[in-house]
Amino acid sequence: AQSVTQPDIHITVSEGASLELRCNYSYGATPYLFWYVQSPGQGLQLLLKYFSGDTLVQGIKGFEAEFKRSQSSFNLRKPSVHWSDAAEYFCAVGAEWGGGNKLTFGTGTQLKVEL
Amino acid sequence: GAGVSQSPSNKVTEKGKDVELRCDPISGHTALYWYRQRLGQGLEFLIYFQGNSAPDKSGLPSDRFSAERTGESVSTLTIQRTQQEDSAVYLCASSTDRPPQHFGDGTRLSIL
């Protein structure tokens, strides 16, 4: 069965500092991988996705993520964090196309940004 | 509409009552998903619709939970005889034949 681990429950960074949120997945084949962000009281907004091809993917709001098959990881990065980035971040893995592509989510990382 | 719309945004009900949650997907999206998010946890998959059929309902936690969808349009998730452990945010997502999924803002359900 597929699974996602986000080892960091809470992370605090200073505004302007760099950010890396960790995500490890377990999946039997090439996964579809996603990062979503959730602000309080809101739904999930897609930051970026990986299906195949270039392992470094760019997303919205200046985020990027790198797929590393050998490490089963898909870490999210941002070079310079803004106070508005404070939110909860979820990594997710999707089933192969044809299987309905339901998503399995990690438990999330809560990001706090210090001014 | 422009995005996935869910109603109500908040629902408070007494234990034992039935509740209906509604999801209006993005126009043209054939796939629709329901997820549950308990406090401080990630999202749990509940059910997936392709059109009005549900090929995967493996995540429904008990027979008190059911869902239906009219064509490629609105879906309702019904919880009968609610229990306190049903308190959560229920999120709906839709997509075309291919990912990604686009999420609504959810319904926050509180069982007293």
The number of beta carbons lying within 10 Å of the beta carbon of residue B49 is 24
Place of tokens 């999930």: A44
Distance from the A34 Cα atom to the nearest Cα atom in chain B, whole angstroms: 8
pLDDT digits (tens, 9 = 90+) for A24-33: 999 877 789 9
Residue A99 region by backbone torsions, left for phi larger than 0, else alpha for psi between -120 and 50, else beta? alpha
pLDDT beneath 70, residues of chain B: 1
Q: Give the pLDDT band of residue A96 (cuts 50, 70, 90).
A: low
Chain A residues whose CB is inside 8 A of the B105 CB are: 41-43
pLDDT digits (tens, 9 = 90+) for A29-68: 778 999 999 998 888 999 999 988 889 999 999 999 999 9
Q: Is it the case that residue A97 has pLDDT exceeding 60?
A: no
* Sequence-ordered list of residues with C-beta below 8 angstroms from that of A61, at least 6 positions apart, any chain: A37, A47, A78, A85
Q: Check residue A76 and give its pLDDT.
A: 98
pLDDT mean over A86-105? 81
Chain A residues whose CB is inside 8 A of the B100 CB are: 34, 46, 49
∠ CA B34-A56-A100, rounded to 5°: 25
Distance from the A74 Cα atom to the nearest Cα atom in chain B, whole angstroms: 16
The answer to whether the Cβ–Cβ distance between B91 and A43 falls below 8 Å is yes
Chain A residues whose CB is inside 8 A of the B99 CB are: 32, 34, 49, 51, 94, 97, 101
Distance from the A102 Cα atom to the nearest Cα atom in chain B, whole angstroms: 7
Instruction: Note which residues in 65-104 of chain A have CB less than 8 A from chain B.
Output: 90, 92, 94, 97, 100-104
